[in-house]
Amino acid sequence: MEYEGQIADIAIVRDLTANKQAELENRKLRDKAEMASRLAAIGEMAAGIAHEINNPLTGVIGFSELLATRGDLPKEVMADLQIINHGSQRVVEIVKRLLTFARQNKPVKTRLDVHELLDNTLEFRSYVFKTANIEVIRQYDPKLPWITADPGQLQQVFLNIFINAEQAMRKVHDGGKITITTTRKDQFLSIRIADDGPGMTPEVKAKIFQPFFTTKGPKDGTGLGLSLAMAIILDHHGTIEVESEYGQGTAFTINLPLDSETEASSNRTAVSPPIKASKRTASIMVVDDEEHICQLVSRVIEQMHHKAESFNDPTQALLKLESDSYDLILLDISMPGMSGLEFYSRIIAKRPELADRVIFMTGDMAAPGLEARLKQTDLMYIVKPFQPAALEQFLSKVLKEQLG
């Protein structure tokens, strides 16, 4: 009897431990799920806010810039306008960062400027770099085209390489130097990030891309950074390579493919040489439920000496298209009542020749499926908020192709 009881006791003890273990595992899973859903919720909120901000922001930027180019305003007014302009540009940057964050977990590829993304990522570490006495040297090739990539994922790759470099350099000296070099190599855009840290032994170098390989303590490393980077870069049809000698520093080189699509980057806001205006007057339809966007876009079109006709109501615009023809249609994607995409499918059902004359205006590339849809069908689009100069450049280019 005594013997059996003892066994029973032991069994109970073991059971309790197993229970506790299971409970712990469960809690871990729950925490993880909770974290994931919290991140998703923040992402959704960020995307929502960004979307709401982009429409009014397009008006603020656009009209302040149009005023600034008038040339007949007193100096003080110009100075005030500058403040409005700078302030709104800062808001543009903040919204962009919000969107980058919101897209983090979904692989959403978009056209992007690698330099801008590198700078944005460096911004995250700027305080740490400053206090750790780390100097960042940028050798950017200014003529690089944009690429098609997921900004959130690429940012993750860059960030991990920066943090690795920072941790490595801190080990051997006070401060250090990170050199970022971008170049074009045939059909690839190449990004090289070099540090003057301790470098790696051949044994370590051979294993760095393996999941869970780390030489750091549990507080500093998970060993997942570079394996994730490898997965992301492969997903982008690129390559990631390392050069490192023990005692000589380390350099990572990422090569990302350029495609023909990226050559004709549409939403580029950087100022490049003006494109010559097309020969004849074009007539352009503008459809946006926001009155001030219609006004802004029409103003830009009129300044280019083309004819603009704007519609706040997509149904009215459709009606008009039954009788009239346009060289181009600038179309907002999200409108109450009828979305831009629905509008688009309705016009091409009736007038297929208009299919390649539509330019979408969108304030939210993070909207699920939208980007894919635009890419898949090879549609033209411009992202809000855009500067009047960028819109003008884009329109000139498209009109030149269409009208010659």
DSSP 29-79: HHHHHHHHHHHHHHHHHHHHHHHHHHHHHHHHHHHHHHHHTSS-S-HHHHH
- Tokens 């944009």 belong to residue: 146
Q: Count of CB atoms within 10 A of residue 352's CB?
A: 9
Q: Does 56 bind ligand ADP (CB under 6 A)?
A: no
**In the complex, what is the shortest distance from the CB of residue 98 to Mg ion, in angstroms, rounded to a whole number?**
25
90 contact choice in Mg ion, ligand ADP, none (CB below 5 to 8 Å, kind-dependent): none
Nearer to Mg ion, 197 or 225 (CB): 225
Nearer of residues 194 and 304 to ligand ADP, judged by Cβ: 194
Q: Which of 21, 222, 281, 325 binds ligand ADP (CB under 6 A)?
A: 222
What is each CA distance from 23 to 11, 19, 27, in whole angstroms?
18, 6, 6
Least Å from the CB of residue 190 to ligand ADP: 18
DSSP symbol at 356: G
Query: How many angstroms separate the CA atoms of 398 and 244, rounded?
Result: 47
Instruction: Using the minimum distance from each CB to ligand ADP, give the nearer residue, 52 or 235.
Output: 235
Using CB under 6 A, which residues numbered 180 to 219 contact ligand ADP? Answer: 195, 197, 200, 204, 208, 213-216
**Span near ligand ADP by CB under 6 A; candidates 74-82, 99-107, 220-228, 232-240:** 220-228
Strand 110-112 with 147-149, pairing = antiparallel
Q: Does 250 bind ligand ADP (CB under 6 A)?
A: yes
Token pair belonging to 311: 């519609």
State which of positions 288-317 bind ligand ADP (CB under 6 A): none
Q: Among all residues, whose Cβ is closest to ligand ADP?
A: 225
* Rounded distance between C-alpha atoms, residue 96 and residue 92, angstroms: 6
160 or 239: CB nearest Mg ion: 160
Q: Which of residues 113-172 bind ligand ADP (CB under 6 A)?
A: 160, 164-165, 168
The CA dihedral of 310, 314, 316, 318, to the nearest 10 degrees, is 100
Contacts to Mg ion from residues 214-273, by CB under 5 A: 225
Residue 178 has φ and ψ, to the nearest 5°, of -110, 125
Interacting residues with Mg ion (CB under 5 A): 160, 164, 225
Interacting residues with ligand ADP (CB under 6 A): 160, 164-165, 168, 195, 197, 200, 204, 208, 213-216, 221-223, 225-227, 250
